[in-house]
Amino acid sequence: MKMSKKGFENYWNPIVETLPLEKMKELQLKKFKNIVQWAYERSKFHRKLYQEAGLEPGDIKSYEDVARVPKVEKAMMRDIQRKDPFPYGDALCVPLEEVTEFRQTSGTTGTPVYQPDTWQDWEWWAESWAYLLYAQGYRRTDRVFLPFGYNIFVAFWAGHYAAEKIGCEVVPGGVLDTEARLLKIQELKATAMMATPTYVLGMADTARKKLGIDPAKDLTIRKITCAGEPGASIPSTKQRMEEAWGAKVYDHVGATEIGAWGFECTAQPGGLHVNEALFLTQLEDIETGEIIEEPGRRGKIVITALDRMAQPCIRFDSKDVAEWSKDPCPCGRTFRIIKGGVVGRSDDITKIKGVLIAPSAIEEVVRSIKGLSNEFEAVVIKKGDLDDITLKIELLPDAEGNREAILNQLRDQLRLKTNLGYNIEVHPYNSLPRYEVKAKRFKDLRK
Amino acid sequence: MNRMKLKKMDVRIKKIKKAAEELKELSGGIQAVDRNASRILASVKMLEINISDILDINL
Is A15 touching B (CB cutoff 8 A)?
A: yes
Comparing CA positions, the residue from A215, A182, A223, A238 lying closest to residue A374 is A238
- pLDDT averages per 10-residue partition of chain B, 59 residues: 91 98 97 98 98 91
Is A27 touching B (CB cutoff 8 A)?
A: yes
For residue A311, what is the DSSP state? S
Coil vs helix vs strand at A112? coil
Is A164 touching B (CB cutoff 8 A)?
A: no
Burial A298-337 (b: 16+ CB within 10 A, else e): bbbbbbbbbbbbbbbbbbbbbbbbbbbbeeebebebbbbb
**Residue A5: per-residue pLDDT:** 58
**Residue B34: per-residue pLDDT:** 97
**Could you count the other beta carbons within 10 Å of the beta carbon of residue A133?**
29
Looking at CA atoms only, how far is residue B19 from chain A in angstroms? Answer: 17
**In this predicted model, what pLDDT tens digit does every residue of A146-194 receive, in sequence order?**
999 999 999 999 999 999 999 999 999 998 999 999 999 999 999 999 9
Cβ <8 Å between B50 and A16: yes
Cβ <8 Å between A127 and B54: no
Where in A277-335 does DSSP place strands (E)?
279-284, 291-292, 299-305, 316-322
The B-side interface with A (CB below 8 A) comprises: 1-2, 6, 38-39, 41-43, 45-46, 49-51, 53-54, 56-59
**Residue A9: per-residue pLDDT:** 87
**In this predicted model, what pLDDT tens digit does every residue of A310-328 receive, in sequence order?**
999 999 999 999 999 999 9
Chain B residue numbers touching A277 (CB-CB < 8 A): 49-50
* Burial class of residue B47 (count of CB atoms within 10 Å of its CB; 0-12, 13-18, 19+): middle
Is A100 touching B (CB cutoff 8 A)?
A: no
**Residue A386: per-residue pLDDT:** 83
Alpha helices in A292-402 (DSSP H): 359-368
**Residue A32: per-residue pLDDT:** 98
**In this predicted model, what pLDDT tens digit does every residue of A393-407 receive, in sequence order?**
999 999 989 999 999
- Beta-carbon contacts of A400 under 8 Å, excluding residues fewer than 6 positions away, are none
Strand-pair partners of B43: none
Where in A69-211 does DSSP place strands (E)?
99-104, 114-118, 143-146, 169-172, 192-195
**In this predicted model, what pLDDT tens digit does every residue of A87-116 receive, in sequence order?**
999 999 999 999 999 999 887 667 899 999
**Residue A420: per-residue pLDDT:** 87
**Residue A173: per-residue pLDDT:** 96
**In this predicted model, what pLDDT tens digit does every residue of A122-139 receive, in sequence order?**
999 999 999 999 999 999
**Residue A164: per-residue pLDDT:** 98
Q: What is the mean pLDDT of chain A?
A: 93
Instruction: Label residue A216 by pLDDT band (50, 70, 90).
Output: very high
Sign of the dihedral defined by the CA atoms of residues A355, A356, A359, A361, in that order: negative
Q: Strand A350-352 to strand A355-357: parallel, antiparallel, or no bridges (unpaired)?
A: antiparallel
In whole angstroms, what is the distance from residue A344 CA to residue A347 CA?
8
Comparing CA positions, the residue from A29, A262, A7, A155 lying closest to residue B56 is A29
Q: Is the pLDDT at A6 greater than 70, yes or no?
A: no
**Residue A231: per-residue pLDDT:** 85
Q: Is the pLDDT at A81 greater than 60, yes or no?
A: yes
ipTM of the complex: 0.96
Lowest pLDDT segment from A77-86, A264-273, A360-369 = A360-369
Cβ <8 Å between A123 and B43: yes
In whole angstroms, what is the distance from residue A297 CA to residue A87 CA?
40
**Residue A70: per-residue pLDDT:** 97
In whole angstroms, what is the distance from residue A136 CA to residue A142 CA?
12
CB A435 within 8 A of CB A229: no
**Residue A320: per-residue pLDDT:** 92
**Residue A326: per-residue pLDDT:** 95
Q: Give CA separation, A231 vs A16, A111, A118, A201, A228, in Å.
A: 29, 25, 32, 10, 9
